[in-house]
């Protein structure tokens, strides 16, 4: 029995955390099925068994693992075929790419998505979400959600991805791999919230659609939040 605890919006079918999407894509890569356990922001109690409060948490038989890259490692150790991490330098390079994602891509998308997240989450989660994020940002969500600034940040964050994807179909080369899921999780975040923030007819747009098709072929249709 394999269970993935992940973050959902008001509708339990719409899961949108970028870190949870990394794990969904990694499970698709390994050809492993799982039962989704969607949680709302305030649902901390069901995670108590994991000894911490953040999703994604994977319960795989007797083993419980949290943190997306720790879950990649768990999957490689228990299901070694089709490595996600790609050996010793592969894992370290993935961690460096993750640092660039945290500096560039995540903040750009968060700025563009923050008000949409507020809309899509359960009404009971909204005060918690607003207060915790406004405290971290030092400003109101509305002031932070500057569309022009977000689009400029995103254009910059897409540059390295576009440059690589102009010459090859996947970030990991000829076939999708750990780097595609590590970065791609952030694109599913936007997509599941009903947004598409990157140009469709671009190397990045084409790559995202390949990744979406890869995922839907293995796990069925991806549920998106309805437009308000």
Which residues in this chain contact a second copy in the complex, by CB under 8 A? 83, 86-97, 99-100, 102-103, 156, 159-161, 163-164, 168, 170-174, 177-179
CB of 175 to a second copy, least distance (A): 8
Q: What is the crossing angle of helices 18-30 and 178-192, to 10°?
A: 130
Q: Taken in order 152, 197, 134, 97, is the CA torsion positive or negative?
A: negative
Neighbours of 97 (CB within 10 A): 16
What is d(CA 157, CA 52) in angstroms, rounded to the nearest whole number? 31
* Residue with tokens 């069901």, as numbered in its chain: 46
Instruction: Name the residue nearer to a second copy (CB basis): 160 or 194.
Output: 160
Query: Min. distance of Cβ 30 from a second copy in angstroms?
Result: 15
CB of 55 to a second copy, least distance (A): 22
Residue 8 buriedness (CB in 10 A; 0-12 / 13-18 / 19+) = buried
Residue 68's φ and ψ, nearest 5 degrees, are -60, -40
The nearer residue to a second copy, 62 or 81, going by C-beta atoms, is 81
Nearer to a second copy, 7 or 101 (CB): 101
Nearer to a second copy, 150 or 177 (CB): 177
Kindly state the smallest distance separating residue 207's Cβ from a second copy, in Å.
Answer: 12
| Least Å from the CB of residue 169 to a second copy | 11
29 versus 116: smaller Cβ distance to a second copy: 29
User: Least separation, in Å, of the C-beta of 84 and a second copy?
Assistant: 9
User: What is d(CA 60, CA 79) in angstroms, rounded to the nearest whole number?
Assistant: 12
Cα separation, 23 vs 45, whole angstroms: 21
DSSP percent split of the chain into helix, strand, coil, nearest 5: 60, 10, 30
For residue 35, list its beta bridge partners: 3
């Amino acid at each position: 029995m394999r269970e993935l605890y992940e973050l959902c919006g008001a509708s339990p079918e719409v899961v949108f955390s970028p870190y949870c999407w990394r794990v969904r894509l990694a499970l698709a890569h390994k050809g492993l099925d799982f039962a989704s356990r969607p949680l709302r922001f305030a649902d901390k109690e069901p995670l108590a068994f994991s000894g911490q409060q953040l999703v994604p948490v994977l319960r795989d038989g007797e083993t419980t693992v949290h943190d997306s890259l720790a879950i990649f490692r768990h999957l490689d150790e228990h299901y070694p075929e089709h490595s996600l991490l790609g050996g010793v330098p592969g894992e370290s390079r993935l961690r460096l790419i993750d640092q660039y994602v945290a500096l560039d891509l995540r903040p750009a998308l968060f700025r563009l998505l923050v008000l949409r997240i507020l809309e899509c989450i359960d009404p009971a989660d909204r005060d918690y979400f607003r207060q915790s994020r406004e405290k971290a940002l030092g400003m109101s969500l509305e002031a932070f959600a500057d569309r022009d600034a977000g689009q400029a940040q995103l254009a910059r964050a897409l540059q390295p991805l576009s440059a690589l994807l102009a010459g090859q179909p996947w970030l990991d080369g000829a076939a999708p791999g750990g780097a595609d899921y590590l970065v791609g999780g952030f694109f599913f975040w936007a997509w599941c919230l009903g947004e598409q923030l990157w140009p469709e007819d671009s190397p990045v747009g084409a790559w995202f659609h390949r990744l979406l098709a890869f995922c839907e072929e293995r796990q069925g249709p991806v549920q998106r939040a309805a437009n308000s």
